[in-house]
Amino acid sequence: MKLQKIIERLQKLHPKKIDLNLDRIQNLCKKLGNPQENLDCISFIGTNGKYSTIQALKAILNEAKINCNIYTSPHIQKINERFVYGNKEIEDDDLAKLLSEVEEINNNEKITFFEILTAAFFYGAKKYSDNITLVETGLFHRFDATNILKKNLATVITTIGMDHLDWLPKNEQTLDKIIFEKTSSLLESNIVISKQTSKDILDKIKSSIKENKSKKIIFNDHYNYSNSENDFFNYEDEFGDLKLPFPNLIGQFQLINISTAIATIRNLRNLNINNEQIKEGITKIKSIARLQEIKNGKLKNLIKNNKLFIDGSHNPLGAKVLSEYLDTLNCKKHMILGMMVNKNHNQYFSYFKGKISSLTTIDIPNQENAIERNELKNKLKLEGLEINSKPSIQEAIKSIPIKDNEIILITGSLYLAGEVLNQN
């Protein structure tokens, strides 16, 4: 209760949820002693794949007995997920103490919720400065609160695509503008560029960072992977080839994220991470709400022996990789869909046309900015596919006439995925 009251106060410090500007967080971090300047950080920038790449990197670092601090957003089930120190989520009492101290130092100055959380994370991390700190950027990067570092070990650019367009001016809602915002102010150290969805996007990224003096490690140019047989895949870069076991994650797209994590590790030579630690690490990755199978719990019990998946994808890039995974499954698929109001609902769902047997729209609980289920249903009218609408996750699952060997997939929002995990 104490933690919740502090959070409620912090959410009222600025009239806007997002206000892209670095002045407020720079002023607060100065009052806090600029704790971010004493950390060994790796920054993660992109549209999709940041979380999975972070978790892959963490697993490898942990296998090498290197501890991590991790800052990610949004959280899935509870806000503590954003504050990982020494590989562990912060406890409620410790988080309340940390936020309370930062709140007092801020002295009621105007600042957004994300900005004060970011400052608090760095302030808390100063006790763990011997760890590697993995920092996921927020909305874009140039004016994002995480862009207050003056040095880092590396910047990882994951897949870039169209998302969060509502935060750009109408005449600037383009891929070129997104790439500029994400990549034009990167630090000079190492830049690792993950596989992109087109050569055009990669060329735009290269052009944006051409004046940056960092070492550039680019998928296909400097590292690559290929599928092999017998549950192995091959990774190669300038340091040699690796025959690696398949990771403990579902989906071919995860090999892209994992290969990017490996490329980052192998270019940070002073960490002294060996090949066996990489091999072991990628089999121990912990990831939630990213193509996650729910294997037990209250919601899983509703469909007995059938499989239940959740996926927090919410933009066209996420829909594309999710649909590619569904193509590998030789069974009927039933989708439960809930989304936020500011997403491109029809473009998201276009990747699943002809691939699912039923669609049920639902409201996302506890999210005032979610699109109402019947409005979503009406927007997605499709020939040959009946769309149902149910007020709750449980009712949606119960309403599906599922048969043996069929699956249910709940998707469309990380917030929805969090609600599924909480209810399960």
- Average the pLDDT over 97-106 and give the result: 98
What pLDDT score does 20 carry? 86
What pLDDT is recorded for position 140? 85
For every residue of 140-151, DSSP letters joined together read: SSTTSTTTT-S-
Beta carbons of 53 and 159 less than 8 angstroms apart: no
Q: Name all domains of the chain by residue range, CATH numbers in brackets.
A: 2-281 (3.40.1190.10), 292-423 (3.90.190.20)
Of 302, 329, 304, 289, nearest to 396 by C-alpha is 302
Residue 166 has pLDDT above 80, yes or no: no
pLDDT at 367 over 80: yes
Give φ, ψ of 141 to 5 degrees.
-160, -45
The mean pLDDT of 353-382, rounded to a whole number, is 93
Q: Rounded to whole angstroms, what are the CA distances from 387 to 104, 310, 372, 392?
A: 51, 19, 14, 15
**Which pLDDT does position 229 carry in this prediction?**
74
Q: How large is the average pLDDT for residues 281-301? A: 96
How do residues 334-344 score in pLDDT, each as one tens digit? Answer: 999 999 999 99
Query: Nearest 5°: CA angle at 352, between 160 and 198?
Result: 30
Structure tokens at 19: 């206000």
Residue (of 183, 190, 98, 194) closest to 144 by Cα position: 183
Read off the pLDDT of each residue in 242-253 and give the average, rounded to a whole number. 92
Q: Tell me: the pLDDT tens digits for 168-217?
A: 778 888 999 999 999 999 999 999 999 999 999 999 999 999 999 999 99
Q: CA angle 259-413-90, nearest 5°?
A: 70
Nearest to 272 by CA among 86, 63, 88, 38: 63
pLDDT at 314 over 90: yes
Considering the chain, what percentage of its residues have pLDDT values greater than 90? 91
pLDDT at residue 5 greater than cutoff 80: yes
Q: Helix, strand, coil proportions of the chain in percent (round to 5)?
A: 40, 20, 40
Dist CA 178 CA 162 (whole Å): 7
The band of 383, judged by pLDDT with boundaries at 50, 70 and 90, is low
Q: What is the pLDDT of residue 228?
A: 78
Compute, in degrees rounded to 10, the torsion defined by CA atoms 215, 220, 223, 226: 170
Closest to 133 measured CA to CA, from 238, 57, 26: 57
